[in-house]
């Protein structure tokens, strides 16, 4: 049981009520950040000691503050997740229990764990865990919180298939695992009943694998489950396995998930209490920075509707832009203009430790190339992006039953290099319904350095034409543009790499569902000005 002094408890409640009313105008939708359950506690209980932290440079590295504007903190508030889950439930009602359980293990893990601990089935909508009257609401709305991650045990199955798809183990002794030894545990134990314990596994990728390797069953057109084991289920996302198959996972200079997505700083106290605690180096900033600028902006712009508490999004968005910019680079290998034909060969470098884009198969990166004559007029364009997120010339955006192939050479405006994964169902047709996904018809997402296509297992293999493209390999893709029938003597070439969280065809398929939850997200998505985000761009001249 928690140990809380009455006076401090009352103070926390007053602070929470003040915050909820002043920021949101009402208390219920944002949840109680000071909740307590059998195994977990809300992040508000951590703020007294773990916010207000400053490193030797004076930078604010408060743990709860940085976490609060991350996708981790808002995993269950995420309107895309809600809309997609609602749509999957509508399309596959026979698998309601499987969907609710699987999707909340990582998006509302504390509520999932507590309900199952009491032998109860998980339900998300109607009177389920996203209903403010549900007893698990506070735990659900808190997303992936402090006492969830820091109670994941260093069990023998970490990093193995048994631990994937939310197969983490939560300790039963209220131990809070962290990366530092030589601790002074009394204040935390006395105040909360949790005991801080040193365990280096909190800095290892295997811990992240529990929710970033996910496999799902697949069904036929009648909703009959066809997958017969975890081994032949659909690899919805395999970010950990992609990393494991790269140079980033090598023992020499190993770079973990945490080392990239949690920036490091030195000279930082890990707690404000007691005030004489020694400062520590290699402190992990809890921003969990990724690539999802669009969703961060939607969460910020719709804070009241979604029950979002954080006001720290501008900082997280800025760091997200930096990560996107550093994820890729473009090199011009050659360029020439002869006999009216402009030919340029580009090398697209991936600087990430997994496929790019990784994780959920709604994401894509577009290689956009435009050629302008001496008067600034466009004479060739491949990959022009419209305001609604659609791309001129991309087959999927014109007809969702099709998809754009991978290219080694591009010669016309209706050919566009799109780095993406396209799901296929049991009939070999394109699908955007997750539970119809049996395999990837196309997977030419940029590979991390060291990724060997020949030895990659089925869950992370390259699919489609990229598999046979010798210029598509670990860490890079070489692509040639060859444009003929030009009459000028000098041209300017502009190249961009553009990231989209949700591909146009994926969104279009989702929004065919008239469910109010889906249409709420449709409105937010349509109003977003960040459907497309430029990662890298360059321009150069080519002349005879």
pLDDT digits (tens, 9 = 90+) for 240-256: 999 999 999 987 779 99
Given a cut of 60, whether residue 178 has pLDDT beyond it is yes
**Mean of per-residue pLDDT scores for the chain:** 94
As a whole number, mean pLDDT of residues 273-293 equals 97
Per-residue pLDDT at 282: 97
pLDDT, tens digit (0-9, with 9 covering 90-100), for 326-355: 999 999 999 999 999 999 999 999 999 999
Q: Nearest 5°: phi and psi at 93?
A: -60, -25
**Which residues touch 398 (CB under 8 Å, ≥6 apart)?**
none
**Directed axis angle between helix 96-107 and helix 205-212, to 10°?**
150
Distance, first Cα to last Cα, the chain:
78
- Go through 319-346 and write b for each residue having 16 or more CB atoms within 10 A of its CB, e for each that does not: bbbebbeebbbbeeeebebeeeebbbbb
Picking from 430, 305, 279, 419, the residue whose alpha carbon sits closest to that of residue 352 is 419
**Spatial CA neighbour of 44 closest among 55, 60, 31, 29:** 31
The pLDDT value recorded for residue 250 is 87
Structure tokens of 494?
């502009």
pLDDT, residue 252, reads 77
Q: Identify the band that residue 308 occupies on the pLDDT scale cut at 50, 70 and 90.
A: very high
Model pLDDT for residues 25-81, shown as the tens digit of each residue: 333 479 999 999 999 999 999 999 999 999 999 999 999 999 999 999 999 999 999
* pLDDT value at residue 25: 36
Mean pLDDT over 80-94 rounds to 98
Alpha-carbon span 329 to 535, nearest angstrom: 9
Output the pLDDT for position 264.
Answer: 97
Give the pLDDT confidence score for residue 15 in this predicted structure. 40
Q: Is pLDDT above 70 for 14?
A: no
Quick: pLDDT tens for 459-468. 999 999 999 9
Per-residue H/E/C for 499-525: EECCCHHHHHHHCCCCCHHHHHHHHHH
Enclosing H/E stretch for 409: strand 409-410
Task: Look up tokens 């809309």; give the residue.
Answer: 83
Q: What is the pLDDT of residues 399-438, one digit of tens each?
A: 999 999 999 999 999 999 999 999 999 999 999 999 999 9
Contact 418, 394 (CB under 8 A): yes
Residue 29: the pLDDT is: 77
- Whether the CB-CB separation of 157 and 163 falls below 8 Å is answered with yes
């Amino acid at each position: 049981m928690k140990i809380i002094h009455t006076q401090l408890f009352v103070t926390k409640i007053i602070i929470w009520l003040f915050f909820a009313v002043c920021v949101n105008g009402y208390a219920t939708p944002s949840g109680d950040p000071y909740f307590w359950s059998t195994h977990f506690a809300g992040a508000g209980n951590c703020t007294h000691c773990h916010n207000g932290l400053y490193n030797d440079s004076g930078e604010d590295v408060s743990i709860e503050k940085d976490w609060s504007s991350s996708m981790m903190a808002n995993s269950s508030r995420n309107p895309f997740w809600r809309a997609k889950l609602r749509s999957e439930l509508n399309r596959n009602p026979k698998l309601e229990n499987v969907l609710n359980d699987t999707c909340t293990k990582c998006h509302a893990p504390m509520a999932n764990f507590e309900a199952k601990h009491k032998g109860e089935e998980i339900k998300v909508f109607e009177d389920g865990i996203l209903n403010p009257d549900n007893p698990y609401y506070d735990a659900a709305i808190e997303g992936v919180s402090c006492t969830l991650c820091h109670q994941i045990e260093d069990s023998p199955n970490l990093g193995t298939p048994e631990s994937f798809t939310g197969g983490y183990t939560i300790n039963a002794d209220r131990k809070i695992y962290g990366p530092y030894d030589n601790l002074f545990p009394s204040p935390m134990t006395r105040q909360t009943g949790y005991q801080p314990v040193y365990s280096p596994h909190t800095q290892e990728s295997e811990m992240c694998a529990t929710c970033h390797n996910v496999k799902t069953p697949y069904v036929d057109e009648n909703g009959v489950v066809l997958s017969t084991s975890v081994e032949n289920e659909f690899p919805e996302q395999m970010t950990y396995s992609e990393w494991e198959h790269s140079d980033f996972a090598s023992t020499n200079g190993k770079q973990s998930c945490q080392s990239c997505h949690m920036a490091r700083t030195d000279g930082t106290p890990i707690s404000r209490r007691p005030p004489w605690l020694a400062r520590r180096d290699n402190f992990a900033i809890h921003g969990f920075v990724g690539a999802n600028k669009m969703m961060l902006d939607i969460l910020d712009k719709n804070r009241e509707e979604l029950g979002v508490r954080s006001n720290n999004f501008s900082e997280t968005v800025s760091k997200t832009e930096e990560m996107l910019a550093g994820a890729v680079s473009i090199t011009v290998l050659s360029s020439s203009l002869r006999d009216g034909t402009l030919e340029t060969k580009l090398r697209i470098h991936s600087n990430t430790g997994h496929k790019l884009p990784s994780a959920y198969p709604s994401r894509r990166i577009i290689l956009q190339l435009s050629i302008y004559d001496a008067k600034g007029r466009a004479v060739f364009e491949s990959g022009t992006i419209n305001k609604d997120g659609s791309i001129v010339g991309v087959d999927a955006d014109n007809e969702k039953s099709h998809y754009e192939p991978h290219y080694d050479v591009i010669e016309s405006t209706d050919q566009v290099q799109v780095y993406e994964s396209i799901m296929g169902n049991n009939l070999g047709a394109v699908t955007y319904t997750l539970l119809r996904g049996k395999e990837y018809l196309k997977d030419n997402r940029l590979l991390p350095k060291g990724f060997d296509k020949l030895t990659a297992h089925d869950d992370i293999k390259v699919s489609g034409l990229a598999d046979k493209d010798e210029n598509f390999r670990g860490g890079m893709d070489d692509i040639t543009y060859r444009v003929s029938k030009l009459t000028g003597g000098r041209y300017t070439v502009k190249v961009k790499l553009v990231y989209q969280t949700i591909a146009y065809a994926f969104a279009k398929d989702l929004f065919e569902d008239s469910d109010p939850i889906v249409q709420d997200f449709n409105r937010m998505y349509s109003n977003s000005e960040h459907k497309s985000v430029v990662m890298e761009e360059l321009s150069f001249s080519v002349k005879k």
